[in-house]
Structure 1
Amino acid sequence: MEAMMTGMINNIFFIVFPLIVYQMLATAGQRNFFVSHRFMMTVLFSVSLVLCMLFPYQFITDGYIFDLRQVPMIVGALYGGPLVSAILFLVASISRIIIGGDGMYIALLNQFVIAVGVPFFRPLYMRINRSRKIMLIFSISITSLLFNLFAGAFFFGNPIHDIVGIWIMLMINQGTIIALTALMIEHMQRQEYMYEAFLKHEKMETVSHFAAAVSHELRNPLQSIKGFVQLMKEYEYSRERQIEFHQTILREIDAAEELIEDYLVYAKPTYGQLEPIIVASEVSHVLKIMVPYANGKDVEMHTDELDESAEILIDRYKFQQALVNIIRNGIEAMPEGGKLVLTVKSSPTKVWIRVTDTGVGMTKEQVRRLGEPYFSSKLKGTGLGMMVTYSIISQMEGQILVDSEKGKGTEFTLEFANLATTKSK
C-alpha cells in the first residue's frame, strides 16, 4: 500500500508539474492556456506522460501495474486540439514501444483512440460551463478505461479481472485526478480572464480620466474666451476696453495651449537639446522664480546644501518645469505656512535633488498613486502637474522617490546619473 501511494503521488506530481511551470513562465497579461503557449505546453505535457509511464505503480494487487498517462493525453487533446493530441500520441507510442512488455498493443490502440476521438469533443468542451466540463472529462476518462477492459478481452483475449475490486477503483482513481486537473486549469483560466479584464478596464479608466481632465481644464479658458467674444459682438466698447478684452482672450488662449502642451509632454514627450547642466545653478534659478509665490503662501524657502560639482545631462527647460511642479505642490501642501528646503547632493555615480516640506503629508496609498492620470491629493487638483513631472523625469532616465507621512510632511528626491560617470563611459 505504501509503494502504491508513493507511486500515485509521483504520477500526480508529474501531471501537476506542467501547470506549475506554466504559471511561472507565462507572461502576465498574455496568458491563454494551450493557445498563446502551445509549443511550451505540448513539450511539458509530453514530459509529463513519459514520466508517468516510466514510474508506474502497483494498484491494489501486486500483479496489476498502472500509471496516469491518459490524464495528460486527454487534457492535452481537449485544451490543445488535434495537433497537440497527435504529438502527444507519437510521444506516448514511441515511449511505450521502447518500454515494451505485456499489454503494449492494447496500450497503443487505446492511445490511438484517445488521440483521434477526444479532439472531436473539444468544440463542445469549450462551450459548456465548468461543472459540465468536469462531468465530460470524467466520462471520457472512464470510457477510455472501459475501452481498455473490453478491447483487451475482445481483440487480445486478455482475461477480465475483478471489475468491482480493480476496474471500478481504477476509474474512480483516474477520473478523480483528471477532474481535479481540469478544475485547476479552469481556475487558472478564470484568473487569467479576470486579469485581462482588469487591464482593459484600467486602460478604459485612464482614457476616461484623460477625457475628463481635458474637458475640465479646457472648459474654463474656452468659456472665458466665448464670453468676451459675445460681449464684444453685442456691445460697443472703447478702444482701450477692447484692447483689454483682447489681452484677456490671448492670456486664456495661452493657458489652453500650455495645458495641451502638458498633455502632449505626458503622451509623447518631446525635448529640446539635451545639455550638461550644473544642478545647483538650476535649482537656485527655480528657487528665485518660486520665492514670490511661496511668500504669498507664508512659506519660507531656502537651500540646505548645494553640491556645486553635481552635473547632469538633461533638457534645461523641461527639468525646470518638473522642479517647479514639485515645489508648487510642496507649497500648496502647507496652507498654514511652513518651510520648504532644497538640497543637491552627489556621489561618483548619482545626483540627488531633494525637496522637503513640512506640509500635510500623504498616506502610503496616495504616494503609490502619485503620477497617475487625474489623481491628486488636492480637492480641486487634476493630477496633471505630477503626471507630467513623472513623465519628464522618467523619459530623461531619472527616478522620483517619495517619502511622506500624514501630518509630518513630504520629501521628493529626484535621482539622475552623474554626468561625470556618463562622460567616462
Structure 2
Amino acid sequence: MGFASKELLINVLFVLLPLFFVQMFYLVKYTHQSKRLKNWMVAIFPVISLVLCMLFPAPLMDGFVMDFRRIPLVLGVLYGGPWFGLLLLALILVIRFFQGGDGFVITSIMYPLFTVILIYLSKSYHMMSVKKRLLVVGLVLPASEAALLFIITQLCPIKIPGMIQLQLILLNMTAVFVAMVIWEIIRQNFELMQKVAKAEKLEVVSHLAASMSHEVRNPLTVTKGFMQLLYEDLPKDKQKDYLDLAIRELDRSVEIINDYLMFARPSVEKMEKIDMRLETQNSLNIMTPHANMHGITIVSVIPPAPIYVMGKTSQFEQCLVNMIKNAIEAMPDGGEIQVTIQSDRSTVSLMIEDSGEGMTIEQINRLGEPYFTTKSKGTGLGMMVSYSIIQGMNGEITVKSVKGKGSCFTITLPVYYERENS
C-alpha cells in the first residue's frame, strides 16, 4: 500500500488499542469486585477511539483525508445500543463541523443514514451467531465505504484511482474484522468468567453441605454404638456413662451444625484457652468403644500436667475425632493406635500413629484437598476440615507414612502461657 500507509495504520491502532483497555477494565472490575467501576465507563473507550481517529486523519491526495471513525461508530451502535450510537453520531458531526471544509456536508448526509441502518440492524444483532455478525458488518461497512467514496468523487473535484478505493475498502474490512474478533473474544471471556464464578459459588455450597453431612455422621455413628451397647446386660453406672457419652455426642453434632452455619455466615471467632491434655483424653474416651468394636486398641501417652493452646474446644475435639476415626478405618483387620503428646517450651505435638495400610507420597501431598480420600468410601472432607481447624489455631499437620506399615499424623501447636497476656 503506497498511500499514507503510516497514518492509516496509526488510525488502526486508535481503533484497536482502546479494546485492550476495555479488557483491562473488566478484568479489574470482576477480579477485584470493584464497586467504583461502573459499566457505563466502558463507553469512554470508543469515544476516545473515535476522537483520535478524527483528530489524526491520514492525508490521501489533493487535501482529501481519510480516517476510520466508522469502526468505533459500528461497534458503539451494535454493542452499546441506539442511544450510544446517536451520541457518537453527534460527536462526529460536532468535530467535523469545527474541522470545516466541504466534507461536513457529505458527513451530515452519509453518517446519519449509516447510523439509522446500524440501529435497525442492532435490534436483531445480538440474536445472531458470531459468524453472522461478522458477515453483516463485513457487508455493511464496505458498502458504506464504497458509497462514501462514490459520493466524494461525484460531488468533489477529486479523482481517486480505483486501486486506492479498493485498498481503502479492504483496509476498513480488515480493521473492523480484527476489532470485532477482539471484542467478541473479550465478551466471551468475561461471560465465561462470570459462569466460572457462579459455578465456584455452587461448588462451595455443595462442599459445605457434603462436609456438614460427613461431620455430623461421626457423632451419630458413635451415639449409635453406645445405644447398641445398652442392649447388653450392663451395670447401672456403666449404662449411665454410655448414655452420658451418647448425649454428649448428640450435643457435639448440634455444635457442628452451628459451626457450619457460622461458616456460611462468617463472624469473628473467639479463641479460648484449651487444655490439650484434657481434650485429647475426652476424644479418646469417645472413640475407644468404636475402636474396640473393630478389634483395635488405643494406647495413649499423655503427660499429667496441663498443656494449654488457643482455639475452640468443640472444633479441636472434632479434629481429633476425625483423625482417630480415620486411623481406625485404616486398619480393617485390627491393630493398635498410639496417641502421644510431647511438648517443649514453645510448642506441643500430638502424634496419632496407626499400623494400617499407609500412604504413598502422592496421597500424602493431597491430604486436606476436597473430595480426596484414600478410602473406598468417604469424601475426604473430614480431613479437609481438620486441616482447616489446625491452621486456624496457628498450627500445622505433618504426615509420615510407609505403604503397608502405617502412618503417623503429628499436630503441632504453639503453647499458650497466661503471662503472655499479663
TM range (shorter): 0.5 to 0.7
- Which amino acid letter does the alignment assign opposite residue 382 of structure 1? T
Contact 2:211 2:382 (C-alpha < 8 Å) held by counterparts: no
Give the equivalent residue in structure 1 for 2:320.
324
- Which amino acid letter does the alignment assign opposite residue 383 of structure 1? G
Matched, 1:185 2:179: no
Give the equivalent residue in structure 2 for 1:18.
18
**Structure 1 residues 320 and 148, CA, compared in 2 at 3 Å: closer, same or farther?**
same
Aligned residues: 389
Q: Distance in 1 between matches of 2:300 and 2:235?
A: 39
Q: 1:45 deviation in Å?
A: 1.1
Q: 1:43 deviation in Å?
A: 0.5
Q: Distance in 2 between matches of 1:158 and 1:48?
A: 28
Q: Distance in 1 between matches of 2:241 and 2:233?
A: 12
Q: Find the residue that maps to 1:65 and give its secondary structure.
A: strand
Matched, 1:385 2:379: no
Q: Distance in 2 between matches of 1:114 and 1:415?
A: 73
Contact 1:361 1:409 (C-alpha < 8 Å) held by counterparts: no
Residues 95-104 or 210-219, more deviating: 210-219
- Which amino acid letter does the alignment assign opposite residue 119 of structure 1? I
Give the equivalent residue in structure 1 for 2:162.
164
- Which amino acid letter does the alignment assign opposite residue 360 of structure 1? M
Q: Distance in 2 between matches of 1:371 and 1:334?
A: 18
**Structure 1 residues 419 and 94, CA, compared in 2 at 3 Å: closer, same or farther?**
farther
Give the equivalent residue in structure 2 for 1:232.
none
Contact 1:85 1:115 (C-alpha < 8 Å) held by counterparts: yes
Give the equivalent residue in structure 2 for 1:360.
359
**Structure 1 residues 163 and 12, CA, compared in 2 at 3 Å: closer, same or farther?**
same
Q: Distance in 1 between matches of 2:233 and 2:300?
A: 43
Give the equivalent residue in structure 1 for 2:193.
195
- Which amino acid letter does the alignment assign opposite residue 266 of structure 1? Y
**Structure 1 residues 217 and 283, CA, compared in 2 at 3 Å: closer, same or farther?**
closer
**Structure 1 residues 219 and 340, CA, compared in 2 at 3 Å: closer, same or farther?**
closer
Give the equivalent residue in structure 1 for 2:141.
141
Please list, as runs of the form range in 1=range in 2, the aligned pairs for 1:37-76 lying within 5 A after superposition.
Answer: 38-58=39-59, 64-76=64-76
Q: Distance in 2 between matches of 1:153 and 1:3?
A: 18
Q: Distance in 2 between matches of 1:205 and 1:28?
A: 24
**Structure 1: gaps (5+ residues):** 230-236, 347-351
Q: Distance in 2 between matches of 1:2 and 1:262?
A: 76
Residues 6-15 or 41-50, more deviating: 6-15
Q: Distance in 2 between matches of 1:141 and 1:257?
A: 72
Q: Find the residue that maps to 1:24 and give its secondary structure.
A: helix
CA deviations 1:101-136 (Å, max 9, x no partner) are 552332344443344431221121101111111011
CA deviations 1:355-380 (Å, max 9, x no partner) are 7889736649964x8363x4445443
Give the equivalent residue in structure 2 for 1:234.
none
Give the equivalent residue in structure 1 for 2:34.
none
TM-score scaled to structure 2, two decimals? 0.66
Q: Distance in 1 between matches of 2:245 and 2:156?
A: 96
- Which amino acid letter does the alignment assign opposite residue 16 of structure 1? L
- Which amino acid letter does the alignment assign opposite residue 124 of structure 2? L
Q: Distance in 1 between matches of 2:251 and 2:302?
A: 32
Please list, as runs of the form range in 1=range in 2, the aligned pairs for 1:185-224 lying within 5 A after superposition.
Answer: 185-208=183-206, 221=220
TM-score scaled to structure 1, two decimals? 0.66
- Which amino acid letter does the alignment assign opposite residue 81 of structure 1? G
Contact 1:48 1:72 (C-alpha < 8 Å) held by counterparts: yes
Please list, as runs of the form range in 1=range in 2, the aligned pairs for 1:254-269 lying within 5 A after superposition.
Answer: 255=249, 258-259=252-253, 261-269=255-263
Indicate the percent of aligned positions where both proteins have the same amino acid.
23
- Which amino acid letter does the alignment assign opposite residue 47 of structure 2? S
Q: Distance in 2 between matches of 1:119 and 1:419?
A: 74
Contact 1:266 1:388 (C-alpha < 8 Å) held by counterparts: no
Q: Distance in 2 between matches of 1:411 and 1:50?
A: 66
Q: Find the residue that maps to 2:169 and give its secondary structure.
A: helix
Please list, as runs of the form range in 1=range in 2, the aligned pairs for 1:300-315 lying within 5 A after superposition.
Answer: none
Please list, as runs of the form range in 1=range in 2, the aligned pairs for 1:236-275 lying within 5 A after superposition.
Answer: 255=249, 258-259=252-253, 261-269=255-263, 274=270
Q: Distance in 1 between matches of 2:79 and 2:123?
A: 10
Q: CA RMSD in A?
A: 5.5
Contact 1:58 1:66 (C-alpha < 8 Å) held by counterparts: yes
Contact 1:4 1:57 (C-alpha < 8 Å) held by counterparts: yes
**Structure 2: gaps (5+ residues):** 32-36
- Which amino acid letter does the alignment assign opposite residue 44 of structure 2? V
Give the equivalent residue in structure 2 for 1:132.
132
**Structure 1 residues 110 and 282, CA, compared in 2 at 3 Å: closer, same or farther?**
farther
